[in-house]
Amino acid sequence: MGSRSASFLPTLSVVVVLSVWEFASRYLGISAHILPAPSVFCRSLVENAPILTRSSLITLQAIGVGFGVGAVAAIPLGFSIGLSPALERSLYYVIVLLNTLPKVALAPLLVVWFGHGLVSKVVLIAIGAFVPVLVDSIAGFKYLDRRLLYVSRSAGASLFQTFLFIRLPAALPHIVSGLKTSLIIAVTVAIVVEYVAATDGLGFVAMRAVTNDDLPLVFATITVGTLIGFGVNAVMSVVEWLLLPWKGA
């Protein structure tokens, strides 16, 4: 009963919200130019399926590459900083700066430097994805139970063996947590940067729909963007389950 209600209640709440929305749009005279009913933007979702699919693939490519670049750069750096207090002190302000940087404001500059297209998006998404993975990687590699190191050293483990069997497994939960956070940030940054400065992708479709006064398409795009968020989160949960089976994710 418990597990059944656990899956039933969220579905019910979504159905209730959509029903109230549909009713309000139809019977309270709310214009489709202000708030289109779910049935209206679902129709737009179907009618615009080809362009939404094509644009989603473009956005997903940018997310994949940008997130990959950010994560690949962050994890080794996190390892180095986690093991070197001097490096941590040296780079502290750089990391804080990167974290507080208003990233979307960089978009027009990146367009001038790299043009419209994948590179500008990837750079911005990578910057957005980099910091959470870095911070969690530092924490993961830094805060290790010292007794584990004593044991491995007394057992004669090499540095590589210590890394592979002690440090990495201990840091993995933190790293995966950082990856999950940064993946959602990557989705948001991708769509926002496409809305603001790109000439393709899901955000660009939303921008075009706004300028064409096509609100159903705007909502259809938001729906697809949300589904992408859910999708990548689900993929990351599978990765987490594979990497950390003991967590039972």
Partner 1 sequence: MARKGLDFVLGVCLAVALATGSASAADKVKFTLNFAADPGHAAYIYAQKQGYYRDAGIDLEIEQGRGSGSTVQLVAAGQTDVGLADAGVIVNLAARGAPVKIIGIIEQLSSWAVIVREDSPIKTPKDLEGRKLGVVPGTAQRALLGAMAGAQGVDVAKIDIVNFDAAASLSMLGEGRVDAVIDVPDIMFPRLKDRGIPVRALYMRDFKVPLVSMSLVVTEKMLQERPDVVRRFVAATLKGIKATMENPAAAVSALLEVYPDAGKRDAALFTVTERAKNNYCAPDSVGLGLPSQKYLDASYEVMTKFMGVSSDKPFSAYFDTAYLPNPPLVCATK
Q: Contact with partner 1 (CB under 8 A): which of 113, 143, 165, 241?
A: 113
Determine the Cα–Cα distance for residues 28 and 81; give it in Å rounded to an integer. Answer: 58
Q: Is 205 in the site for partner 1 (CB under 8 A)?
A: yes
Least distance CB 108 / partner 1 (angstroms): 6
Q: How far is CA 72 from the centre of its chain?
A: 15
Least distance CB 198 / partner 1 (angstroms): 8
DSSP string, 199-227: SSSHHHHHHHHHHTT-HHHHHHHHHHHHH
Q: Contact with partner 1 (CB under 8 A): which of 100, 154, 158, 211?
A: 211
Least distance CB 98 / partner 1 (angstroms): 24
Q: How many binding residues for partner 1 (CB under 8 A)?
A: 23
Identify whether the C-beta of residue 88 lies closer than 8 Å to the C-beta of residue 95.
no
Helix residue ranges per DSSP H, 84-106: 85-100
Q: Contact with partner 1 (CB under 8 A): which of 94, 112, 155, 242?
A: 112
Q: Contact with partner 1 (CB under 8 A): which of 129, 198, 228, 236?
A: 198
Q: Is 115 in the site for partner 1 (CB under 8 A)?
A: yes
Query: Minimal CA–CA distance to 134: which of 184, 91, 163?
Result: 91
Q: Is 208 in the site for partner 1 (CB under 8 A)?
A: yes
